[in-house]
């Protein structure tokens, strides 16, 4: 496991290009330190999963989805060993509606193809072509239009040690965890834990659990040898119908449709 540099990471060390790309193709697991960029970033998970953590929440980037990370936002990224990701970087003025938080976005076929096309212009390039700046201006406009099409693929985070311990235990035991298990693990009553989740995370423990299960299932569904039934059991659903309803409510499509879609994506 390697850890990247903290603080400002200047991805345009040679020239102030309007845009560029950066391809990461697996290897050992990479866990960055807390850092930020002076450019906007949209990161597309070509293969594997990516986790992005900010002070406000924990975001899971499943395969064939994209994470929007605005310039100046401190974050920490975990790239698993099998991950292959493509980051496209923009001069901030190209996306004036960037906002100030991470968003997980659904990627259309057109947006995906344009992001893949950007590989020919790495952000660290020393020379560029005349077509590069107009291309990134157009792509930045497209990205700005989809920022409102956000998926609720994140879990709230808290700097409260008790809340952090409870959420960590929950995520580590998704296949069988109960509220009683968590209270025993962190040493509080069920009533105290319920209050803690509402006060610190803005949702009930049950809502947190369901969302965590759906996020984990998106990663498992990307594995070609996993069936929908196997995934539903692996994340703690006893009834595949209940799993399908929860998945569709969070992701806007059924588990089967999601699995077919990402299997057909390049």
| CATH 2.60.120.280 domain extents, the chain | 2-151
| CATH 1.10.10.60 domain extents, the chain | 158-264
Phi, psi of 35 (to 5 degrees): -150, 175
For domain 158-264, the CATH superfamily is Homeodomain-like (1.10.10.60)
Q: Name residue, tokens 């423990």.
A: 205
User: In Å, how far are 17, 18, 43, 133, 255 from 130, measured between CA atoms?
Assistant: 12, 12, 24, 7, 43
Confidence of residue 106 (pLDDT cuts 50, 70, 90): confident
Pick the CATH number of 2-151 from 3.40.50.2300, 2.60.120.280, 2.40.100.10, 3.40.640.10: 2.60.120.280
pLDDT at 215 over 70: yes
The pLDDT tens digits of the residues spanning 140-169 come to 999 999 998 877 778 888 889 999 999 999
Average pLDDT value for residue range 38-52 = 88
């Amino acid at each position: 496991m390697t850890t990247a540099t903290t603080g400002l990471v200047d991805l345009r060390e040679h020239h102030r290009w309007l845009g560029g790309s950066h391809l990461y193709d697996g290897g050992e697991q990479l866990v960055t330190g807390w850092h930020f960029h002076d450019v906007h970033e949209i990161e597309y998970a070509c293969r594997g999963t990516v986790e992005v953590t900010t002070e406000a929440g924990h975001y899971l980037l499943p395969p064939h989805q994209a994470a929007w990370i605005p310039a100046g936002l401190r974050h920490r990224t975990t790239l698993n060993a099998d991950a292959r990701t493509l980051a496209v970087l923009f001069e901030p003025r190209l996306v004036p509606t960037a906002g100030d938080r991470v968003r997980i976005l659904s990627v259309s076929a057109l947006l995906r193809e344009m992001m893949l096309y950007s590989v020919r212009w790495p952000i660290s390039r020393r020379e560029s072509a005349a077509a590069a700046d107009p291309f990134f201006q157009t792509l930045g406009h497209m990205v700005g239009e989809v920022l409102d099409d956000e998926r609720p693929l994140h879990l709230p985070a808290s700097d409260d040690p008790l809340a952090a311990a409870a959420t960590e235990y929950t995520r580590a035991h998704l296949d069988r965890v109960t509220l009683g298990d968590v209270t025993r693990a962190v040493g509080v009553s069920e009533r105290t834990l319920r209050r803690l989740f509402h006060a610190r995370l803005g949702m009930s423990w049950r809502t947190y659990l369901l969302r965590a299960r759906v996020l984990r299932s998106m990663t498992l569904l990307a594995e070609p040898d996993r069936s929908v039934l196997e995934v539903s059991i692996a994340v703690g659903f006893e009834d595949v119908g209940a799993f399908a309803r929860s998945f569709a409510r969070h992701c806007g499509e059924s588990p089967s449709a999601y699995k077919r879609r990402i299997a057909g994506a390049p």
